[in-house]
Protein backbone atom coordinates (compact mmCIF):
# COMPACT_ATOMS: atom_id res chain seq x y z
CA UNK A 1 0.00 0.00 0.00
CA UNK A 2 1.38 3.37 -1.04
CA UNK A 3 1.13 5.87 1.82
CA UNK A 4 3.04 8.61 0.00
CA UNK A 5 0.89 11.64 -0.91
CA UNK A 6 2.05 14.15 -3.51
CA UNK A 7 1.20 17.69 -2.36
CA UNK A 8 0.53 20.30 -5.04
CA UNK A 9 -0.22 23.93 -4.23
CA UNK A 10 -1.89 25.36 -7.33
CA UNK A 11 -2.32 28.94 -6.09
CA UNK A 12 -5.27 30.95 -7.47
CA UNK A 13 -6.86 28.95 -10.30
CA UNK A 14 -10.11 28.91 -12.23
CA UNK A 15 -12.57 26.36 -10.84
CA UNK A 16 -13.24 24.54 -14.14
CA UNK A 17 -9.52 24.28 -14.90
CA UNK A 18 -8.87 22.60 -11.55
CA UNK A 19 -11.97 20.40 -11.84
CA UNK A 20 -10.66 19.13 -15.19
CA UNK A 21 -7.23 18.57 -13.62
CA UNK A 22 -8.79 16.64 -10.75
CA UNK A 23 -10.65 14.46 -13.25
CA UNK A 24 -7.37 13.74 -15.08
CA UNK A 25 -5.61 12.64 -11.88
CA UNK A 26 -8.69 10.72 -10.71
CA UNK A 27 -8.84 8.81 -14.02
CA UNK A 28 -5.10 8.08 -13.94
CA UNK A 29 -5.47 6.41 -10.53
CA UNK A 30 -8.53 4.45 -11.69
CA UNK A 31 -6.67 3.32 -14.82
CA UNK A 32 -3.89 1.81 -12.69
CA UNK A 33 -6.47 -0.03 -10.57
CA UNK A 34 -8.25 -1.39 -13.66
CA UNK A 35 -4.92 -2.52 -15.16
CA UNK A 36 -3.98 -4.29 -11.93
CA UNK A 37 -7.30 -6.08 -11.84
CA UNK A 38 -7.34 -7.09 -15.51
CA UNK A 39 -3.71 -8.03 -15.93
CA UNK A 40 -2.93 -9.29 -12.44
CA UNK A 41 -0.22 -6.65 -11.99
CA UNK A 42 0.59 -4.98 -8.69
CA UNK A 43 1.45 -1.41 -9.68
CA UNK A 44 1.26 1.08 -6.82
CA UNK A 45 -1.49 3.66 -7.16
CA UNK A 46 -0.48 7.31 -6.54
CA UNK A 47 -2.16 9.67 -4.06
CA UNK A 48 -2.47 13.44 -4.48
CA UNK A 49 -3.51 16.36 -2.29
CA UNK A 50 -4.23 19.59 -4.14
CA UNK A 51 -4.42 22.96 -2.40
CA UNK A 52 -6.03 25.76 -4.37
CA UNK A 53 -7.79 29.10 -4.15
CA UNK A 54 -10.55 29.85 -6.64
CA UNK A 55 -11.88 33.11 -8.05
CA UNK A 56 -15.50 33.70 -6.93
CA UNK A 57 -17.55 30.63 -7.89
CA UNK A 58 -20.67 28.78 -6.73
CA UNK A 59 -20.92 25.00 -7.16
CA UNK A 60 -23.98 22.79 -6.82
CA UNK A 61 -23.61 19.11 -5.94
CA UNK A 62 -25.47 16.35 -7.77
CA UNK A 63 -28.15 16.12 -5.06
CA UNK A 64 -28.41 19.90 -4.65
CA UNK A 65 -31.45 22.13 -5.12
CA UNK A 66 -31.20 25.03 -7.62
CA UNK A 67 -33.53 27.04 -5.37
CA UNK A 68 -30.61 27.43 -2.97
CA UNK A 69 -28.91 29.66 -5.56
CA UNK A 70 -30.37 33.12 -5.02
CA UNK A 71 -28.76 34.87 -8.01
CA UNK A 72 -29.71 34.80 -11.66
CA UNK A 73 -27.18 34.75 -14.51
CA UNK A 74 -27.00 38.54 -14.80
CA UNK A 75 -26.50 39.01 -11.05
CA UNK A 76 -23.73 36.39 -11.06
CA UNK A 77 -21.97 38.32 -13.80
CA UNK A 78 -22.32 41.59 -11.86
CA UNK A 79 -20.64 39.98 -8.85
CA UNK A 80 -17.82 38.58 -10.96
CA UNK A 81 -18.77 35.01 -10.06
CA UNK A 82 -19.31 31.82 -12.03
CA UNK A 83 -21.58 28.83 -11.38
CA UNK A 84 -21.17 25.08 -12.02
CA UNK A 85 -23.25 21.97 -11.44
CA UNK A 86 -20.73 19.33 -10.44
CA UNK A 87 -20.40 15.64 -9.61
CA UNK A 88 -19.69 15.72 -5.87
CA UNK A 89 -22.10 15.05 -3.04
CA UNK A 90 -23.72 17.86 -1.08
CA UNK A 91 -25.68 20.94 -2.05
CA UNK A 92 -24.53 24.45 -2.98
CA UNK A 93 -21.40 26.15 -1.74
CA UNK A 94 -19.16 29.11 -2.49
CA UNK A 95 -15.43 29.22 -3.22
CA UNK A 96 -13.37 32.36 -3.44
CA UNK A 97 -10.16 34.18 -2.52
CA UNK A 98 -9.18 33.82 1.12
CA UNK A 99 -10.46 30.26 1.28
CA UNK A 100 -8.24 27.17 1.50
CA UNK A 101 -9.68 24.47 -0.72
CA UNK A 102 -8.25 20.97 -0.40
CA UNK A 103 -8.79 18.19 -2.93
CA UNK A 104 -7.38 14.84 -1.76
CA UNK A 105 -7.29 12.40 -4.67
CA UNK A 106 -6.56 9.22 -2.79
CA UNK A 107 -6.83 5.53 -3.47
CA UNK A 108 -8.49 4.51 -0.22
CA UNK A 109 -7.24 0.96 -0.83
CA UNK A 110 -3.93 2.45 0.35
CA UNK A 111 -5.53 3.55 3.63
CA UNK A 112 -8.98 2.14 4.50
CA UNK A 113 -12.07 1.40 2.42
CA UNK A 114 -14.77 3.31 4.28
CA UNK A 115 -16.23 6.54 2.85
CA UNK A 116 -18.01 7.43 6.09
CA UNK A 117 -14.71 7.12 7.97
CA UNK A 118 -12.97 9.15 5.23
CA UNK A 119 -15.38 12.07 5.66
CA UNK A 120 -15.11 11.92 9.45
CA UNK A 121 -11.29 11.95 9.15
CA UNK A 122 -11.41 15.00 6.86
CA UNK A 123 -13.61 16.75 9.42
CA UNK A 124 -11.21 15.74 12.20
CA UNK A 125 -8.26 17.20 10.27
CA UNK A 126 -10.01 20.59 10.25
CA UNK A 127 -11.20 20.29 13.86
CA UNK A 128 -7.62 19.62 15.03
CA UNK A 129 -6.25 22.44 12.87
CA UNK A 130 -8.71 24.94 14.33
CA UNK A 131 -7.93 23.74 17.85
CA UNK A 132 -4.39 25.02 17.31
CA UNK A 133 -5.95 28.48 17.03
CA UNK A 134 -7.90 28.03 20.26
CA UNK A 135 -11.23 27.31 18.53
CA UNK A 136 -13.53 24.49 19.61
CA UNK A 137 -14.82 23.22 16.29
CA UNK A 138 -17.31 20.35 16.04
CA UNK A 139 -19.42 18.19 13.80
CA UNK A 140 -23.13 18.91 13.50
CA UNK A 141 -25.26 15.77 13.38
CA UNK A 142 -26.57 15.10 9.87
CA UNK A 143 -24.65 18.05 8.42
CA UNK A 144 -21.28 17.23 6.85
CA UNK A 145 -18.59 19.82 7.50
CA UNK A 146 -17.13 21.64 10.49
CA UNK A 147 -19.00 24.06 12.74
CA UNK A 148 -18.62 26.32 15.76
CA UNK A 149 -21.11 26.60 18.64
CA UNK A 150 -23.15 23.59 17.52
CA UNK A 151 -26.52 23.29 19.25
CA UNK A 152 -26.76 27.01 20.05
CA UNK A 153 -28.50 29.90 18.26
CA UNK A 154 -24.99 31.03 17.23
CA UNK A 155 -24.05 27.88 15.27
CA UNK A 156 -21.94 28.80 12.25
CA UNK A 157 -20.14 26.83 9.59
CA UNK A 158 -16.45 27.38 8.95
CA UNK A 159 -15.64 24.49 6.59
CA UNK A 160 -17.78 22.85 3.89
CA UNK A 161 -17.17 19.36 2.51
CA UNK A 162 -18.31 17.33 -0.45
CA UNK A 163 -16.62 14.36 -2.12
CA UNK A 164 -16.97 11.93 -4.96
CA UNK A 165 -15.61 8.38 -4.89
CA UNK A 166 -15.43 5.56 -7.39
CA UNK A 167 -13.70 2.20 -6.78
CA UNK A 168 -12.40 3.76 -3.56
CA UNK A 169 -10.69 6.65 -5.37
CA UNK A 170 -11.70 10.09 -4.04
CA UNK A 171 -11.91 13.59 -5.48
CA UNK A 172 -13.28 17.02 -4.46
CA UNK A 173 -12.88 17.67 -0.72
CA UNK A 174 -13.14 20.59 1.69
CA UNK A 175 -13.26 24.40 1.69
CA UNK A 176 -12.04 26.12 4.85
CA UNK A 177 -12.84 29.81 5.25
CA UNK A 178 -9.61 31.45 6.39
CA UNK A 179 -9.70 35.04 5.13
CA UNK A 180 -12.83 34.73 2.97
CA UNK A 181 -15.25 37.52 2.01
CA UNK A 182 -18.32 36.16 3.81
CA UNK A 183 -20.65 38.50 1.93
CA UNK A 184 -20.64 36.09 -1.01
CA UNK A 185 -22.43 33.49 1.12
CA UNK A 186 -25.44 35.84 1.28
CA UNK A 187 -26.20 34.92 -2.33
CA UNK A 188 -26.94 31.26 -1.54
CA UNK A 189 -28.47 29.04 1.12
CA UNK A 190 -25.13 27.41 2.02
CA UNK A 191 -25.28 23.62 1.74
CA UNK A 192 -29.08 24.02 1.60
CA UNK A 193 -29.20 24.70 5.36
CA UNK A 194 -31.41 27.63 6.32
CA UNK A 195 -31.00 29.84 9.35
CA UNK A 196 -27.35 29.12 10.13
CA UNK A 197 -24.47 31.52 9.67
CA UNK A 198 -21.09 31.09 8.02
CA UNK A 199 -17.80 32.30 9.50
CA UNK A 200 -14.10 32.54 8.70
CA UNK A 201 -10.94 31.91 10.74
CA UNK A 202 -9.78 35.53 10.62
CA UNK A 203 -13.21 36.72 11.86
CA UNK A 204 -13.15 34.27 14.76
CA UNK A 205 -9.63 35.35 15.74
CA UNK A 206 -10.35 39.06 15.26
CA UNK A 207 -7.48 39.37 12.77
CA UNK A 208 -7.30 41.07 9.40
CA UNK A 209 -5.54 38.05 7.92
CA UNK A 210 -4.31 34.61 8.98
CA UNK A 211 -1.26 33.37 6.99
CA UNK A 212 -2.63 30.69 4.58
CA UNK A 213 0.65 28.72 4.35
CA UNK A 214 0.67 28.37 8.14
CA UNK A 215 -2.86 26.92 8.05
CA UNK A 216 -1.98 24.55 5.18
CA UNK A 217 1.01 23.18 7.07
CA UNK A 218 -1.17 22.51 10.11
CA UNK A 219 -3.78 20.79 7.90
CA UNK A 220 -1.14 18.53 6.36
CA UNK A 221 0.36 17.68 9.75
CA UNK A 222 -2.98 16.44 11.05
CA UNK A 223 -3.91 14.78 7.74
CA UNK A 224 -0.64 12.85 7.72
CA UNK A 225 -1.04 11.73 11.33
CA UNK A 226 -4.65 10.57 10.91
CA UNK A 227 -4.14 8.83 7.57
CA UNK A 228 -0.68 7.48 8.39
CA UNK A 229 0.61 9.10 5.20
CA UNK A 230 3.93 10.65 4.20
CA UNK A 231 4.38 13.85 2.21
CA UNK A 232 6.80 16.59 1.26
CA UNK A 233 5.49 20.15 1.46
CA UNK A 234 6.05 22.37 -1.61
CA UNK A 235 9.38 24.20 -1.42
CA UNK A 236 7.64 27.57 -1.87
CA UNK A 237 6.14 27.25 1.63
CA UNK A 238 9.59 27.37 3.16
CA UNK A 239 10.87 30.37 1.21
CA UNK A 240 11.23 33.76 2.89
Indicate the burial class of 160 (C-beta count within 10 angstroms; 0-12, 13-18, 19 or more). Answer: buried
Encode the chain in three state secondary structure: CCCEEEEEEEEECCHHHHHHHHHHHHHHHHHHHHHHHHHCCCCCCCCEEEEEECCCEEEECCCCCHHHECCCHHHHHHCCCEEEECCCCCCEEEECCCEEEEEEECEHHHCCCCHHHHHHHHHHHHHHHHHCCCCCEEEECCEEEEEECCCCCCCEEEEEEEEEEECCEEEEEEEEECCCCHHHHHHECHHHCCCCEECCHHHHHCCCCCCHHHHHHHHHHHHHHHHCCEECCCHHHHCC
Active-site annotation holds for 159: no
User: Which residues participate in the annotated binding site?
Assistant: 88-95, 160-162, 173-175
User: Which residues participate in the annotated binding site for substrate?
Assistant: 88-95, 160-162, 173-175
Cβ atoms 88, 61 nearer than 8 A: yes
Enter the DSSP assignment of 154.
T
Q: Indicate which residue of 50, 137, 146, 191 is catalytic.
A: 191
Question: Which residues are marked as active site?
Answer: 191
Amino acid sequence: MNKQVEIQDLGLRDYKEVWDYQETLFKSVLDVKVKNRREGTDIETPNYFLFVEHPHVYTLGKSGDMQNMLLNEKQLEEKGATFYKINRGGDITYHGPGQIVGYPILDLDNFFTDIHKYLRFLEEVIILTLAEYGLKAERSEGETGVWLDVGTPFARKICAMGVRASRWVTMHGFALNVNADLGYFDNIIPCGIRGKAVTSLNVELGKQEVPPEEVKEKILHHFSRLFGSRYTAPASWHST
